């Protein structure tokens, strides 16, 4: 019998979801702060057989934590001790912002899903950058060349107009790129008004070109650059983004963000309606996320690294995504339901099964 799901139902299922998240987040940081994280790290570290190289970066495991859990870079070292091969920080914006009014995070437990309309609440790029720099230095000292990888996910500040979005993303890239192992342009959250309009190739091209230019200049090196897309894009738009990413020489695509759809849920319709607007993540997203991955793989082959996220819960899910063409796999929502030993469990499952085979992506 697994302990954490029982603990979750007793301790967290009745609690406001954002409050539960803050408590869990704080507990993970506290365990690290008193030194117990080193014990966890020794037990949870991925075995050397899981190491994989993607866009020239060596990841300790193909399985990592998606953006959204650690929005401000305060928990990177503690999360690394739980066994994640990479931690994607963010979404970080050019300016600090409080996000949307509360309540803004809801669970649909029957569906193992979450609805959020957080709205990119964070301290802003200039404040987050030194935290990431310190965490990266600490990980390098502790783990050496096989350290967990830090991705940074950047998005648009809400008060910035769409026509000024490129300058806003530039500001984030300027502050954060020097400390990023890879950088992600998020144009797919449903919780910032107008943001998804930037997924149109006509507006996406100059935005990605601006971030590439700024990140290279700020870091003094080519920082791997990826774009994160929504599952709600039409197939033709997915194809267009794939062609654009290849044309621009991006390192990869992250597929997918949350969905605005509410189809096929088991939860009571009144409970779903009570959640209101926002992005749905978790198990209901699994089929569409896998479908988008397969489409991108057929379009891009090994010209792009594909990072698959959406409905990932088990080692079997990770293997399915890798077999379908993913170079890396991320999870987030299942972390809330499975608890702190989730990543270690996934890594053990990957190790016990046949050798891991990943999509090659860009060298």
- 182 labelled as ligand-binding? no
- 310 labelled as ligand-binding? no
- 153 labelled as ligand-binding? yes
The C-alpha torsion from 139 through 141 and 144 to 145, rounded to 10°, is: 60
Domain ranges, ordered by start, for the chain: 3-352
- 122 labelled as ligand-binding? no
Q: Which of 44, 189, 267, 327 is catalytic?
A: 189
Q: What percent of the chain has pLDDT over 70?
A: 91
Close Cβ partners of 180 (under 8 Å, ≥ 6 residues apart) = 132, 150, 151, 152, 215, 219, 223
Which pTM was predicted? 0.93
Confidence bin at 12 (pLDDT 50/70/90): low
In CATH, which superfamily holds the domain spanning 3-352? Aldolase class I (3.20.20.70)
Average pLDDT over residues 15-21: 82
Close Cβ partners of 88 (under 8 Å, ≥ 6 residues apart) = 64, 65, 66, 67, 150, 151, 152, 153, 184, 330
Q: In whole angstroms, how large is the CA radius of gyration of the chain?
A: 19
Token pair of 259 as six digits: 């969905």
* pLDDT tens per residue across span 71-113: 999 999 999 999 999 999 989 999 999 999 999 999 999 999 9
Residue 329: beta bridge partners? 63, 308
- Taking residue 288's Cβ as centre, other Cβ atoms within 10 Å add up to 18
Close Cβ partners of 343 (under 8 Å, ≥ 6 residues apart) = 44, 63, 65, 82, 83, 84, 335
Nearest to 281 by CA among 310, 314, 313: 310
Average pLDDT over residues 175-181: 98
Token pair of 234 as six digits: 């039409």
Token pair of 284 as six digits: 């209901």
Residue 44 catalytic? no
Q: Which of 21-25, 163-167, 177-181, 352-356 has the highest mean pLDDT?
A: 177-181
Average pLDDT over residues 43-63: 92
């Amino acid at each position: 019998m697994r302990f954490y799901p029982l603990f979750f139902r007793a301790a967290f299922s009745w609690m406001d979801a954002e409050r539960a998240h803050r408590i869990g987040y704080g507990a993970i940081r506290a365990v690290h702060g008193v030194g117990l994280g080193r014990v966890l790290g020794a037990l949870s570290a991925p075995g050397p057989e899981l190491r994989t190289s993607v866009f020239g970066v060596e990841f300790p495991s193909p399985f990592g934590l998606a953006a959204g859990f650690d929005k401000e870079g305060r928990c990177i070292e503690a999360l690394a001790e739980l066994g994640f091969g990479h931690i994607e920080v963010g979404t970080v914006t050019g300016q600090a912002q409080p996000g949307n009014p509360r309540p803004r995070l809801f669970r649909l437990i029957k569906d193992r899903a979450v609805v959020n309309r957080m709205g990119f609440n964070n301290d802003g790029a200039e404040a987050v950058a030194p935290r990431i720099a310190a965490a990266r230095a600490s990980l390098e000292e502790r783990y050496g060349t096989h350290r967990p990888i830090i991705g940074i996910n950047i998005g648009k500040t809400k008060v910035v107009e769409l026509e000024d979005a490129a300058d806003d993303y530039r500001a984030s890239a300027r502050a954060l790129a020097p400390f990023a192992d890879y950088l992600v342009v998020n144009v797919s959250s449903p919780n910032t008004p107008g943001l998804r309009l930037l997924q149109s190739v006509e507006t996406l091209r100059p935005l990605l070109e601006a971030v590439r230019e700024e990140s290279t200049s700020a870091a003094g090196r080519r920082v791997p650059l990826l774009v994160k897309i929504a599952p709600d894009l039409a197939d033709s738009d997915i194809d267009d983004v794939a062609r654009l990413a290849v044309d621009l020489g991006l390192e990869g695509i992250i597929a997918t963000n949350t969905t605005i759809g509410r189809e096929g849920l088991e939860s009571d319709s009144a409970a779903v309606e009570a959640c209101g607007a926002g992005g749905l993540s978790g198990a209901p997203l699994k089929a569409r996320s896998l479908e988008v991955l397969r489409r991108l793989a057929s379009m891009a082959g090994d010209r792009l690294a594909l990072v698959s996220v959406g409905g990932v819960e088990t080692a079997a899910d990770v293997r399915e995504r890798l077999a379908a063409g993913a170079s890396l796999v991320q999870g987030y929502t299942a972390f809330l339901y499975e608890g702190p030993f989730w990543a270690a469990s996934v890594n053990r499952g990957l190790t016990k099964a046949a050798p891991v085979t990943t999509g090659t992506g860009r060298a």
